[in-house]
Amino acid sequence: MSASSPNGPRARAPEDWRILGWQCGIVAAVLLAWEGAILLQYADTFFFGRPSEVVAFLFTRTLDGYLLVNTWVTVYEVALGFVAGTVLGTAVGWALWWSPYWSRVLEPYAVVLNATPKIVIAPILIVWFGIGLTSKVMIAVSICAVVAWLGAFDGVRAADPDHADMVRAVGGRRRDVFLKIVVPTSLPWILTTMRINIGLALIGVITGEFLSSTQGLGYLVDATAKLYQLSHTFAALAMIAALAAVQFWLVGLLERKLLPWAQEAELEFIT
């Protein structure tokens, strides 16, 4: 599908801008209503905070570096946990393609681990690895690895056996089938799990910072809420939301680079 086609990216640009305008307008309307409710004393700043105070906190604490330091701590922990967990889980999922027997043995463990709420093991990981960075990273890894494992394994099972037979028919070995058929087929599943994992890694890190930490956005939310500084708490939450949005955008960018055909198919489906 070319860019000049009726359903191409250029044709969709005005609609995308309108959607963005509505999204920004909704946020602005909520903030104005919130500020107005405080000014007219329909709501109490003590319980609900105040948008103007949120903006002031974001501005001043960014300038003095305090908010940037806490944001960087969380970003670093999330990045390490996400990458390590995704690589580890994907490697396990791919490795199990080589042994159908062991895949059947280990699959129930993956399902059970995936269904177990990770917050119940977070205190154990903090005891094992301490209150520093390592425990937060390990919480994120424990979440992301299982999801990536299941996603990669589902991907390798989706490989077309007829395509594998064609590779063997022209003299290809099992390694060739894996590299030329299994890995490319599993990429959409892996990228889908990356979209899920980027959010789960952030949840795991924030959970760890809630439980035991002296830095990070999760720590900032917990500390300000305990002091009833709700405007500061909402500011930290706004930073977490912005971080989640940036992470999701980066994964989407990676998907568009690796699988441009999937983006084209999505546009055709929507239109």
Confidence of residue 213 (pLDDT cuts 50, 70, 90): confident
* C-alpha separations of 109 from 59, 65, 150, 222, 251 in Å: 47, 44, 11, 34, 28
Q: Which of 117, 201, 105 is nearest to 153 (CA)?
A: 105
pLDDT of 214 higher than 90: no
Amino acid type, 88: L
Q: Helices 230-258 and 183-211, interaxial angle, to 10°?
A: 170
**Sequence-distant contacts of 109-115: CB under 8 A, at least 24 apart:** 110/146, 110/149, 110/150, 110/153, 111/150, 113/146, 114/146, 114/147, 114/150
Say which residue, 12 or 16, is predicted with more confidence: 16
pTM of the model: 0.79
pLDDT of 205 higher than 80: yes
pLDDT of 84 higher than 90: yes
pLDDT at 206 (0 to 100): 92
- pLDDT tens for each residue of 229-240: 888 999 999 999
What would the mean pLDDT of 178-203 be, rounded to a whole number? 86
CA distance 81 to 74: 11
- pLDDT tens for each residue of 115-171: 777 778 888 888 898 888 888 999 999 999 989 998 888 888 877 777 777 777 777
**Sequence-distant contacts of 123-132: CB under 8 A, at least 24 apart:** 123/211, 125/208, 126/208, 126/211, 126/212, 131/212, 131/213, 131/214
Tokens of 99: 């042994």
pLDDT of 192 higher than 90: no
What would the mean pLDDT of 251-265 be, rounded to a whole number? 68
- pLDDT tens for each residue of 19-71: 878 888 888 888 888 888 888 888 777 788 888 888 888 898 888 888 999 99
Tokens of 90: 């994907």
pLDDT of 271 higher than 50: no
3-state secondary structure 16-81: HHHHHHHHHHHHHHHHHHHHHHHHCCCCCHHHHCCHHHHHHHHHHHHHCCHHHHHHHHHHHHHHHH
What would the mean pLDDT of 200-208 be, rounded to a whole number? 91
CA distance 78 to 94: 24
Q: Which of 117, 135, 131, 145 is nearest to 205 (CA)?
A: 135
